[in-house]
């Protein structure tokens, strides 16, 4: 019994560490673009909302259960890991991408899938990486087959990719981007629902219709947290700098014998 308990605790610890490292890597890549801050965390929460609603309503029951739901949520933050290969010139371009630039940008999906596939091969006990690879490869596919990188359609697209497609587009619409400002929640919802049967799986949009208000709560919570962080940063910048030494010189100024920095 003690060995069984230890093995269970060890497995939980490894899973937790893997989650932390995965999110850390995703956020590190995301830091290249200050306009996408928080994207990997928000999209994973949207994926969880959609998947839980689908489970509760008995949709896709042969593909979706509590175990696969957990794997999807753990995998979601890694969906854009392939962007590590995209140059800042393209990734941070404020205007519309040229056809050539967009072609390069599209390469992040297949590359991300390849990176994650190799990671899973090296750590085969981390099953969520298999889901992460599928999500990275398929979250830009479209239900009508006009997406990329493989032009998959309908159920050819893994369910996790079809769910992430909705989460990813919603977050892109309601958050500021370097090429345009954020749009209101209602407008973003209208655009997504117009994509029923073309860009998105109608069954997943049924779920989105039921829980989109919870998406708005996440957006509001994130904005409030960002505003608090900005206010705190401004307060710290405005606060008088702490000084050291009997003559009131700062520690940097007093490092040298003549007051010059060392």
What percentage of the chain exceeds 70 in pLDDT? Answer: 76
pLDDT on residue 176: 82
pLDDT on residue 37: 58
Q: 8 pLDDT exceeds 70?
A: no
Averaged pLDDT, 228-257: 58
Per DSSP, the three-state class of 196 is strand
Per residue in 173-209, pLDDT (tens digit) is 998 887 788 999 999 999 999 999 999 999 999 999 9
* Per-residue pLDDT band at 27 (split at 50, 70, 90): low
pLDDT on residue 14: 46
- CATH number 2.102.10.10 given to 13-238: no
User: What phi, psi does 180 have (nearest 5°)?
Assistant: -170, 155
Mean pLDDT, the chain, integer:
82
Q: 112 pLDDT exceeds 90?
A: yes
Q: CB-side exposure of 65: number of CA atoms within 13 Å?
A: 3
Averaged pLDDT, 221-246: 71
pLDDT on residue 24: 58
pLDDT on residue 28: 58
pLDDT on residue 196: 97
Q: 249 pLDDT exceeds 60?
A: no
Question: Is residue 192 within 8 Å of 166, Cβ to Cβ?
Answer: yes
Q: In the chain, which residue ranges form alpha helices assigned H by DSSP?
A: 2-30, 39-56, 66-75, 88-91, 99-122, 128-138, 159-174, 185-194, 202-238
pLDDT on residue 232: 75
Question: Is residue 149 within 8 Å of 140, Cβ to Cβ?
Answer: yes
Alpha-carbon span 172 to 177, nearest angstrom: 7
Q: What is the sign of the dihedral through the CA atoms of 115, 118, 122 and 128?
A: positive
Least confident of 53-62, 78-87, 111-120, 223-232: 223-232
């Amino acid at each position: 019994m003690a060995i069984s308990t230890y093995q269970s605790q060890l497995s939980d610890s490894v899973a937790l560490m893997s989650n932390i490292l995965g999110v850390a890597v995703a956020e590190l890549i995301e830091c290249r673009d200050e306009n996408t801050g928080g994207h990997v965390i928000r999209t994973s929460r949207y994926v969880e909302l959609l998947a839980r609603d689908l489970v509760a309503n008995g949709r896709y029951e042969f593909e979706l259960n509590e175990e696969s739901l957990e794997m999807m949520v753990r995998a979601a933050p890694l969906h854009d890991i392939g962007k590590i290969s995209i140059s800042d010139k393209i990734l941070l371009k404020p205007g519309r991408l040229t056809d050539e630039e967009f072609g390069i940008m599209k390469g992040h999906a297949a590359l991300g899938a390849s990176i994650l596939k190799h990671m899973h091969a090296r750590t085969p006990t981390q099953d969520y990486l298999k889901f992460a690879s599928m999500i990275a490869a398929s979250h830009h596919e479209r239900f009508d087959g006009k997406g990329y990188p493989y032009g998959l359609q309908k159920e050819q697209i893994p369910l996790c990719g079809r769910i992430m497609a909705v989460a990813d587009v919603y977050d892109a619409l309601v958050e500021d981007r370097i090429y345009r400002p954020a749009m209101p929640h209602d407008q973003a919802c209208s655009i997504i629902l117009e994509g029923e049967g073309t860009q998105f799986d109608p069954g997943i949009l049924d779920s989105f219709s039921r829980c989109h208000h919870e998406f708005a709560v996440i957006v509001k919570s994130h904005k409030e947290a960002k505003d608090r962080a900005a206010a705190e940063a401004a307060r710290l910048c405005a606060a008088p700098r702490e000084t050291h030494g009997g003559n009131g010189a700062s520690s940097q100024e007093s490092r040298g014998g003549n007051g010059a920095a060392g």
